[in-house]
Amino acid sequence: MTSTSPASGTKAPQVDDAIADALSTIRRNIAKFGPAYPDDTTVDDRYEPRPAEGGIPLGGNRGWTTSFRTGMLWLAWELTGAEDYREAALVDVADFERRVRAEEDLDTHDLGFLYTLSTVASWRLGADEAARDASLLAADHLMRRFLEPAGIIQAWGDLSDPAQRGRTIIDSLMNMPLLTWAGEQTGEPRFDDAVRRHTAQLREHILREDDSTFHTFYWDAETGEALRGGTEQGAADESCWARGQAWGIYGFAMNYAVTGDEQLLEASRRCAEYFLRHLPADDVPFWDLVYTDGSDAPRDSSAAAIAVCGLIELASVEVDAGRAAEWTARAHAILASLIANYTPAAAEDSDALILHSVYDLPKGNGVDEGTLWGDYFYLEALMRVAKPEWKKYW
Ligand code: GLY
């Protein structure tokens, strides 16, 4: 399927073969894993079941990435109408309902990633009432992390953990849609208020003057004072972690669309411009944007996949037609490179849809591997090009 984007007049990449390859891998993974969840990243391009930890058994639903498998299953079902994808997605959804009711591994802002792509998607696609109830429970849990007077949602850990207290991270922008959805469903203003205040704090402090971003930022939880930026997964506190910048493009654009705060639109544009200015010749970033052409640092294809979705989202809310055309054209170029250069030579060569991502290089975790989120956003990018009318789960 090749289409011409009305916004840009550019040719979108040919995605039919890429979608067919992705779907065949997803179907193989259903057979390989059944209801067990794969780990965050591949090892030598193969996913293994998620290790047991904290009383949760091998292949269990813990951590922040399990819903990316569910999201891929929903996308596969929407692309094909094939019931086996939907049935597998519903097995996950039931398990996400169980997880939130059992209060298992919920001490994270990533409840947004986890519940948007599982139970909220199930509600959006099938008016599933049990999934709606579970999503609202997850949104309530996420609200417990909202810190007054700082006006931010704490990212990681127990709220009394001094090392994490008052800290948030740029990825959190992607967790806001769970709150926005809960506000729409309940009519309770507390959800929208939290989204407005949290996103305004990130726009103000995590986005730097040169349009790059900090990965993480600390507030004094008692006084609300903004303290300092830093990194967790980037090359240095002052460098620009590629995936964080991609989260910024997508997250600021989405939150602009629901809040109407024009400074968030400008923040998304600034993230996009910086990201695009720092791409190497093949349009897929090094894992940190401090590296440029000629470096032998690993790439992060997952950042590229997120950026494609983010740029298409930005184009959809952009008020300047010329800029929308530019965002769309650059998204198409990045996606074309992912398809041509970052997919397995034969779909059977890997369990991942795209190769060469980085999870956390400073900790030596998932370097130059496939990742569940890279796979999800790659398939979302293919969906966005194949079916521009597709309604996102976020
Ligand atoms: N949200 C965590 C990451 O992007 O690695």
pLDDT tens digits along 166-210 = 999 999 999 999 999 999 999 999 999 999 999 999 999 999 999
Q: Whose CA is nearest to atom 2 of ligand 1?
A: 171
Mean pLDDT of the chain: 96
Torsion sign over Cα 313, 298, 354, 61: negative
Q: Which of 301, 359, 367, 371 best tests ligand 1's pocket when mutated (most atoms within 8 Å of CB)?
A: 359
Q: How far apart are CA 394 and CA 376, in angstroms?
A: 13
For residue 21, the number of C-alpha atoms closer than 13 Å in the C-beta half-sphere is 23
* Nearest-angstrom CA–CA distance, 126 and 180: 19
Residue nearest to atom 5 of ligand 1 (CA): 359
Tell me, in angstroms, the distance from the centre of ligand 1 to residue 213's CA: 14
Of all atoms in ligand 1, which is nearest to the CA of residue 373?
4
- Over range 125-149, report the average pLDDT: 98
Angle at 234 between CA 233 and CA 238, to 5 degrees: 135
Name the amino acid, one letter, at 213: T
CB of 128 within 6 A of ligand 1: the answer is no
C-alpha of residue 6 to centroid of ligand 1, in Å: 33
Q: Where are the domains of the chain?
A: 15-386
Print the SS3 string covering the chain. CCCECCCCCCECCCCHHHHHHHHHHHHHHHHHHCCCCECCECECCECCECCCECCECCCCCCCCCHHHHHHHHHHHHHHHCCHHHHHHHHHHHHHHHHHHHCCCCCCECCHHHHHHHHHHHHHHHHCCHHHHHHHHHHHHHHHCCEECCCCEECCECCCCCCCCCCEEEHHHHHHHHHHHHHHHHHCCHHHHHHHHHHHHHHHHHCECCCCCECCEEEECCCCCCEEEEECCCCCCCCCCEHHHHHHHHHHHHHHHHHHCCHHHHHHHHHHHHHHHHCCCCCCCCECECCCCCCCCCCECHHHHHHHHHHHHHHHHHCCCHHHHHHHHHHHHHHHHHHHHHCCCCCHHHCCCCCCCEEEEHHHCEEEEECEHHHHHHHHHHHHHHHCCCCCCCC
* Residue of the CA atom closest to atom 1 of ligand 1: 171
Q: Distance from the CA of 171 to the center of ligand 1, in angstroms? A: 6
CB-ligand 1 contact for 86 (6 Å cutoff): no
- Read off the pLDDT of each residue in 50-79 and give the average, rounded to a whole number: 98
Ligand 1 site, residue 203, Cβ cutoff 6 A? no
Backbone angles phi, psi at 67, to 5 degrees: -70, -15
Are the beta carbons of 370 and 351 closer than 8 angstroms?
yes
Judged against a pLDDT cut of 90, whether residue 4 lies above it is answered with no
- Identity of residue 352: A
247 is in an annotated binding site: yes
Q: In the predicted model, what is the mean pLDDT of residues 367-385?
A: 99
Percentage, residues of the chain above pLDDT 70: 97
Residue 50 alpha carbon to ligand 1 centre in Å: 17
Q: Name the token pair of 361.
A: 């290089």
Taking the centre of ligand 1 as the mean of its atom positions, its distance from the CA of residue 375, in whole angstroms, is 13
**Residue 10: pLDDT band with limits 50, 70, 90:** low
Architecture per CATH, 15-386: Alpha/alpha barrel (1.50)
Concerning whether 171 is annotated as a catalytic residue, the answer is: yes
Catalytic choice (110, 128, 288, 375): 110
| Token duo for residue 9 | 């007049």
Q: Which of 40, 171, 211, 283 is catalytic?
A: 171
CA-171 nearest atom, ligand 1: 1
293 is catalytic: no
pLDDT-derived band at 11 (thresholds 50, 70, 90) equals: confident
Checking if the pLDDT of 8 tops 80, the result is: no
Instruction: Write the single-letter amino acid at 122.
Output: S
Query: How would you label 124-142 residue by residue, b for 16+ Cβ within 10 Å and e otherwise?
Result: bbeebeebbebbbbbbbbb
Q: What are the tens digits of pLDDT across the range 322-368? A: 999 999 999 999 999 999 999 999 989 999 999 999 999 999 999 99
231 is in an annotated binding site: yes
Separation of CA 331 and ligand 1 centre (Å): 21
Q: Does any ligand 1 atom lie closer than 6 A to the CB of residue 215? A: no
Spatial distance between the Cα atoms of 171 and 362, rounded to a whole number of angstroms: 18
User: Which ligand 1 atom lies nearest to the CA of residue 243?
Assistant: 4
Instruction: Name the phi and psi angles at 174, rounded to 5.
Output: -80, -10
Indicate the pLDDT class of residue 385, thresholds 50, 70 and 90: very high
Measured distance CA(71)–CA(80) in Å, rounded: 14
